Structure 1
């Protein structure tokens, strides 16, 4: 059944009310107040010294958000890594590895699977060409990564804004079109934490056509960078816009997306003139079974999905991977340089 024809579930209704408010959201307000109280207790534990922020020998940059769901942290992380590389800095990445089997610390390698380390950390390792460690305990993951890669000059945490044990010298907050939603905390709203005034070590990136909150920040530019066959993607070959545009002439293609906002991916493909069906999957879909019909003529995937599909699994079916070109803009670069100078890192 088409996603647009599927009967809305309770979760669908709640997520819609996370943007606008409504009776269901209002009914959950007591749980939001409890969540706020628990957050306040955690903050009190840190302020009184019952719990401590840990220390690490290199600076940490956290890429995160206040709102639950995919706001664009991983594209922002990849763009940040490219900016750091251009400045001659050697960075590593730590992440929880959402959706993987187990919570322990693990180093990501080219032969790791998404089930072992998570789809986004594996994508960051393959696409960003940087060392990555995953673990529920980000501090333990950071220490393991630094022990394995002693030449690292700084660490980037993909998510972890609310992992307060992890020290951070710079926080990059990412927002999409949802902004702050209805302004309520979980579960009555989408906020992971109450909004707070920006600190000098905060930078805001809007993964949206325009700013979606009143916070000063930088509007990112995003566009499709091209396509490459699944086999060539795994071989490390770059995407080509010519390859992507050539798909306009092929009938019967199906776009498949197991990401937080699949319609955004479909709309971008349609905007380039590709006329293809869309199959929206749950975020972090594991592709344990191939989700498309057996008679599908060809499949177009996101990179986040490609990391879960080694070429041998799709047989003779033509599959292309579409890459995203994401840039936080020149204003962000200038602000980042100022922050790096404060950390005594070259910019």
Structure 2
């Protein structure tokens, strides 16, 4: 894709042509943060701790598997987490409770995967603070909220900020959108509570840094077909995620020979998008949108996050320090 060549090629000429727009993007971001900091734009404090899981680059870095990891491990530690998300690409007009049966056109694809894999309440809305309030009203047992991809959503106040960085692609050419992939300058990392590097290749200096790897699980059929051997069959890999190369590299590491078919992130698939192949392998995120096709050729590769050192235990210790009685939390009107 052209945008990847611009963002991840050193000194690409089109990147320099786009720098004035990057300066404008930076100025608008600075102004927006100042408006929230001074109270000219209202922010909302929710009555439970809020943990934001985000990134400072555009495109996929691994936020979704990390959020699932956190939800599962916080449950194991005795917490009752909930998840809120913007629901990118969804058309919800009000805070929406998401389940595995929700139409991805309403909620977006990632929230359905979050609800299916984490087994915790998931609500989406473009105003994440409103989504959080709706979730807490419906699930008063929830005592900590995970905000998926909300690092730049300053309307929602947060107690902890976690940033996921792509270990392979890093920060590209180091420029802000649209000249580069950065949503915020790299200096933003120093203000975060923790940095999680997904994959090897990028050293990040931070007081609290963690290494994440995505561990492939067992392939499963989208329609529940019995396992079969693929030897001699034509295999195609189809994905619409922020970093298709990560999925393709995972398949290559498993020794699978296939043709690559990459689509834009959050692509809504139709039957016409599926290639002529005997076997089609997809990500769990894409399986959410392909479920309606009920194609027996489609097989899904699940992945799970593994963290070193133990991020969940570190997070639990941080939560113990910041936890306050519900009555002492200040909630502003929305």
TM-score (norm 1): 0.86
Aligned partner of 2:8 in structure 1 is: 16
Alignment length (residue pairs): 321
Cα distance in 1 for partners of 2:154, 2:80 equals 24
Check 1:144–1:334 CA distance in 2 against 1; reply closer, same or farther (3 A cut): closer
Q: Indicate the residue corresponding to 1:313 in structure 2.
A: 293
1:94 and 2:73 correspond: no
CA distance in structure 1 between the partners assigned to 2:174 and 2:258 by the alignment:
36
1:166 aligns with 2:156: yes
What does residue range 25-64 of structure 1 map to in structure 2 within 5 Å?
A: 25-64=15-54
CA RMSD of superposed structures (Å)? 2.2
Question: Relative to structure 1, is the Cα distance of residues 204 and 12 closer, same or farther in structure 2, using a 3 angstrom cutoff?
Answer: closer
After TM superposition, the structure 1 stretch with the greater mean CA deviation from structure 2, 79-88 or 42-51, is: 42-51
- Kindly tell me: are residues 282 and 43 of structure 1, through their superposed partners in 2, closer, same or farther at Cα, counting changes over 3 Å? closer
Equivalent of 2:269 in 268, 287, 292:
287
Contiguous gaps of at least 5 residues in structure 1: 1-7, 234-239
CA offset at residue 72 of structure 1?
Answer: 0.9
Structure 2 SS opposite 1:220: strand
Task: Name whichever of 135-144 and 102-111 sits farther off.
Answer: 102-111
Which residue is equivalent to 1:258?
A: 240
Larger CA deviation: 30-39 vs 116-125 = 30-39
Report SS of the residue matched to 2:190: coil
Instruction: Classify the secondary structure of the residue corresponding to 1:161.
Output: coil
The corresponding residue for 1:296 is 277
Deviation at 1:289, TM superposition (A): 3.3
Match of 1:196 in 2: 188
Once the two structures are overlaid, the 10-residue window that deviates more, 247-256 or 84-93, is 247-256
CA contact (8 A) 1:32 1:186 kept: yes
Q: Which moved more, 1:334-343 or 1:223-232?
A: 334-343
Which 4+ stretches in 1 moved above 4 angstroms?
A: none
CA distance in 2, matches of 1:207, 1:12: 19
Distance in 2 of aligned mates of 1:223 and 1:132: 24
CA 1:112 to 1:103, structure 2 compared with 1: closer, same or farther past 3 Å? same
TM-score between both structures, scaled by the size of structure 2: 0.89
Are 1:184 and 2:175 matched, yes or no? Answer: yes
CA contact (8 A) 1:95 1:133 kept: yes
CA distance in 2 between partners of 1:247 and 1:340 (Å): 47
Greater RCO structure (CA 8 Å; 6+ sep)? 2
